[in-house]
Amino acid sequence: MKIKNLIWSILVIPSLISSCQPAKKAVEESDTKPNVVVIYLDDLGYGDLSSYGATELQTPNIDALAEGGNRFTNAYASSATCTPSRYALLTGSYPWRNKEAKILRGSAPLIIGTDQPTLPKMMQANGYYTGVVGKWHLGLGAGDLDWNKHITPGPNEVGFDYSYVMAATQDRVPTVFIDNGDVVGLDPNDPIEVNYNENFEGQPTGLENPELCRLKWHHGHNGTIVNGIPRIGFMKGGENAKWEDETMSGHFLALAQKFVRDHKEKPFFLYYALQQPHVPRTPNPAFVGKSGMGARGDVILEADWTIGEFMKTMKEEGLLENTLIVFSSDNGPVLNDGYNDEAVEKLGNHNPSGPLRGGKYSLFEAGTRIPFITYWKGKIQPQESDALLCQMDLMASIAQLIGIEAPKTDSQNQLSALLGESKIGRENLIIEATSRTAIRQGDWLMIPPYKAKAVNELVNIELGNAPEFQLYNLKEDEGEQTNLATSNPEKLKEMLESFETLRGKDYSKIEKIELK
């Protein structure tokens, strides 16, 4: 039996048994400081939840958070891709300030400085036990990483007492889990080798051996084949350590449940980063075909079930009345992101972007405006808020929550808005998409000119690029159909001045996006 299946048996079965037990009250010490849980999905769009208007998909467990908490309609990830958004959430800093905060290889070095302020460090220094479970994708090590030794620096060196992560994404090698810096299930006699430039002799790839692939690649994903799925990059060895794709979501769930059970006696911070609905979409067999939309719809339903199970555990352990739960996604949606998994063909009437334009990789609204919900039983009253917020603001807001001074970063204290005590959020926000930036201010969005393709044909998404300035009144034109840059020069001037004050004037230096 592979080690992950053994862990699954050890962790999940007790969790199922415990669901029949009466709720327990967490010890009084944890009542003095609220716990904080951030539930973070991957590539979930603004229109992918029934609580955000989806009619073809029903997500009752996430909807329960929205119905019992504060559902935000103007909340943003910092960026339209994963690594930069995660960087902003954990550091409270704009990712465009760090040139390494871009989509990373699985072998990339850690991009958060070990001396840099972070949200988990802040919590750790104030009596919290901190943990991360799930997707990392912020780099590991300091370069020339040896996967067969203890991996450092990593999550543990930037504030997490406990970390159980995948290095990057489900579609990138190495396809192994890392438990507090050590590869899970590694056989010293079968060492792991990883290369992102060239393949290892004799290793099958999606490009050369398509007959070995149960999931066919469309673009970019034609490297080493693991579990019948071609990945980005090349990997050799580590056979016993390789994960099982279809049980990954349940595996992370069991670990998140165990984390809150084991650490409920003192205040804790958990960053629970699900891998869904990012590619490759590999639903557990119990969810295959349930959505009628192919694998993408199925894994959204699985993620919703997973969150429901996690919330049951929180309730059983008596933690809901003393825990701020934040639910969100790292960026907007994408259908075909490198595999032929019928996400496009079976979409039907569903619109993952909802009323918004664009998607993942885009400066248009659907790239960075995401579902965002705060829930705290008995503390946050059910409501909807149009306050302008960014995930980057969690650091300063949580500092206010626990009564400390926040580190000096780009994070802003929006605790009153998060708790539903105010409808006022940020004045403005710089958003980013693959090194291109724009500004949201009040009801307006301004995108400066960029010399780049208007549409990425591989993923069929409008990127927000144009040779001229773009100016949209989002209150009156949520779908960004009418460019007012020419007809409203005064507003354009005002927006450009704000943008250049915050961003500087070197914003036209952009990098070419590579979908691999």
Cα dihedral across residues 92, 95, 98, 100: positive or negative = positive
How many residues would you count in the chain? 516
Phi, psi of 202 (to 5 degrees): 85, 0
H or E element at residue 337: none
Helix, coil or strand: residue 118:
coil
Decide if 449 contacts 464 (C-beta within 8 A): no
Is the separation of the CB atoms in 38 and 360 below 8 Å?
no
The residue among 354, 378, 376, 381 whose CA lies nearest residue 367 is 354
- E strand or H helix at 7, and its extent? helix 3-18
- pLDDT tens for each residue of the chain, 516 residues long: 344 444 444 344 344 333 334 344 433 444 479 999 999 999 999 999 999 999 999 999 999 999 999 999 999 999 999 999 999 999 999 999 999 999 999 999 999 999 999 999 999 999 999 999 999 999 999 988 999 999 999 999 999 999 999 999 999 999 999 999 999 999 999 999 999 999 999 999 999 999 999 999 999 999 999 999 999 999 999 999 999 999 999 999 999 999 999 999 999 999 999 999 999 999 999 999 999 999 999 999 999 999 999 999 999 999 999 999 999 999 999 999 999 999 999 999 999 999 999 999 999 999 999 999 999 999 999 999 999 999 999 999 999 999 999 999 999 999 999 999 999 999 999 999 999 999 999 999 999 999 999 999 999 999 999 999 999 999 999 999 999 999 999 999 999 999 999 999 988 888 877 766
Residues of the chain with CATH 3.40.720.10: 35-192+237-427
Q: Using CA atoms in the order 379, 384, 386, 391, what is the torsion angle rounded to 10 degrees? A: 50
Taking phi over 0 as left and psi of -120 to 50 as alpha, with beta for the rest, 296 belongs to alpha
Q: Which positions ≥6 away from 451 have C-beta within 8 Å?
A: 465, 467, 508
Which residues contact residue 415 at a Cβ distance below 8 angstroms, ignoring those fewer than 6 apart? 397, 398, 400, 401
C-alpha–C-alpha distance, residues 411 and 425, integer Å: 12
CA angle (361, 40, 227) in 5-degree steps: 80
Q: Which of 281, 168, 172 is nearest to 232 (CA)?
A: 172
Indicate the fold that domain 35-192+237-427 takes in CATH: Alkaline Phosphatase, subunit A (3.40.720)
How far apart CA 359 and CA 366 sit, in angstroms, is 5
Report the pLDDT value the prediction gives residue 27, as an integer from 0 to 100: 37
Q: Look at residues 315, 229, 323 and name the one whose alpha carbon lies nearest to residue 270.
A: 323
Report yes or no: 391 and 77 within 8 Å, Cβ to Cβ: yes
Cα 141 to Cα 82, 88, 124, 136, 152, distances in angstroms: 19, 20, 21, 13, 5
Alpha-carbon gap, residue 279 to 341, rounded angstroms:
9
> What angle is formed at CA 213 by the lines to CA 207 and CA 215, rounded to 5 degrees?
105
Round to whole Å and give the CA distance between 167 and 476.
Answer: 42
For residue 76, what are the β-bridge partners?
369, 390
Q: Rounded distance, CA 256 to CA 272, Å?
A: 7
CA–CA distance, 65 with 224 (Å, rounded to integer): 39
* CATH 3.30.1120.10-classified regions of the chain: 431-503
Hey, what CATH class is 431-503 in? alpha beta
Cβ-proximal residues to 478 (8 Å cutoff; 6+ apart), any chain: 355, 356, 365
DSSP 110: P
Dist CA 477 CA 304 (whole Å): 31
Distance between CA atoms of residues 19 and 21, nearest Å: 6
